[in-house]
């Protein structure tokens, strides 16, 4: 008899523990859904219209010539 009651108590305790874990999990999910990720700030129209300048071309060095003697 005592083995049957302990078995039933064990099952009841396990079911209660599973319920507690499920409620905690649902609370965590609600908290995670409540926090939103922040979007990056949009560029203003003035920044979009600024023309980008091309960098100046590098002037090539003149070739060195050797003096003839």
The tally of CA atoms less than 13 A away on the side-chain side of residue 38 is: 3
pLDDT at position 9 is: 92
pLDDT at position 46 is: 64
Does residue 1 carry a pLDDT above 60?
no
* Owner of token pair 């064990």: 10
Q: What is the pLDDT of residues 11-53, one digit of tens each?
A: 999 999 999 999 999 999 888 877 767 777 776 766 666 667 7
pTM exceeding 0.85: no
Closest CA to 17 of 9, 5, 27: 9
């Amino acid at each position: 008899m005592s083995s049957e009651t302990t078995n039933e108590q064990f099952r009841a305790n396990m079911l209660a523990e599973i319920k507690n874990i499920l409620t905690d999990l649902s609370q965590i999910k609600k908290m995670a859904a409540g926090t939103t990720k922040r979007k990056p700030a949009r560029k203003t129209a003035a920044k979009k219209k600024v023309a980008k300048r091309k960098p100046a071309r590098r002037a090539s060095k003149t070739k060195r010539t050797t003096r003839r003697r």
